[in-house]
């Protein structure tokens, strides 16, 4: 009977310990376009301008989920335990690119992957990096690297291709500042992409 009471006491203590050691909630971050900046630079669209469609972004598994990835060495990728994206980067980034392209006024319409509408051009892309690089203790930066392929929808031929890379230092090597740096880096790529396509005068 004595041993039974001891086991019962241990079991109750274990339950009490579990109730106090709850897993902390995750911090959720997103990627947002600067709508104010985009709307102020929007020009009048003309119906004779082409329609461009954004194809789904190709990427490795690390960027097709909601994990927030950080890198400490060249060949090592890890995920923050209590921080994540509101959606996969390959899902969040197209809105950023779409907003930047619409702001140029170079296209009659910029349509997203689910649309059944026909387009004059297709913009495919491959995301090779979208992570928080942490090195030398307190030094870190958000890095995005993505290659775009501009395709003539009628002929199915590649007209042009270009890789964009942006890296923005983060003030501290934590997930929150990493998310801020990645947002700024992605915004730079979005505007560089828009400037590139506008300069092509499609």
Residue with tokens 């740096």: 181
Strand partners, 148: 125, 162
State how far the Cα of 47 lies from the Cα of 200, in Å rounded to an integer. 18
pLDDT, tens digit, for every residue of 84-121? 999 999 999 999 999 999 999 999 999 998 888 999 99
Which residue segments constitute the domains of the chain, with CATH numbers given? 27-199 (3.40.50.10610)
Supply the pTM of this predicted model. 0.84
Contact 92, 30 (CB under 8 A): yes
3-state secondary structure of 58: strand
pLDDT, tens digit, for every residue of 114-125? 888 999 999 999
pLDDT, tens digit, for every residue of 140-185? 999 999 999 999 999 999 999 999 999 999 999 999 999 999 999 9
State how far the Cα of 92 lies from the Cα of 66, in Å rounded to an integer. 10
State how far the Cα of 91 lies from the Cα of 69, in Å rounded to an integer. 15
Calculate the alpha carbon distances from 165 to 121, 143, 182, 186 in Å: 23, 7, 11, 9
pLDDT, tens digit, for every residue of 54-67? 999 999 999 999 99
In whole numbers, what is the pLDDT of the chain averaged over residues? 87
């Amino acid at each position: 009977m004595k041993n039974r009471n001891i086991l019962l006491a241990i079991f109750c203590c274990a339950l009490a310990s579990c109730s106090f050691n709850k897993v902390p909630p995750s911090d959720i971050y997103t990627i947002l376009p600067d709508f104010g900046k985009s709307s102020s630079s929007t020009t009048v669209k003309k119906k004779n301008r082409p329609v461009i469609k954004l194809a789904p972004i190709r990427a490795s598994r690390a960027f097709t989920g909601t994990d927030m990835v950080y890198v400490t060495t060249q060949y090592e990728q890890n995920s923050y335990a209590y921080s994540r994206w509101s959606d996969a980067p390959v899902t969040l980034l197209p809105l950023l690119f779409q907003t930047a392209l619409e702001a140029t006024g170079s296209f009659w319409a910029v349509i997203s992957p689910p649309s059944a509408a026909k387009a004059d051009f297709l913009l495919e892309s491959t995301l090779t990096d979208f992570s928080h690089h942490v090195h030398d203790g307190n030094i870190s930066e958000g890095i995005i690297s993505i290659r775009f392929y501009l395709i003539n929808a009628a002929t199915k031929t590649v007209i042009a291709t270009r890789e964009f890379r942006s890296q923005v230092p983060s003030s501290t090597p934590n997930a929150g500042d990493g998310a801020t740096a990645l947002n700024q880096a992605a915004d730079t790529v979005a505007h560089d992409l828009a400037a590139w396509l506008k300069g092509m005068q499609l």
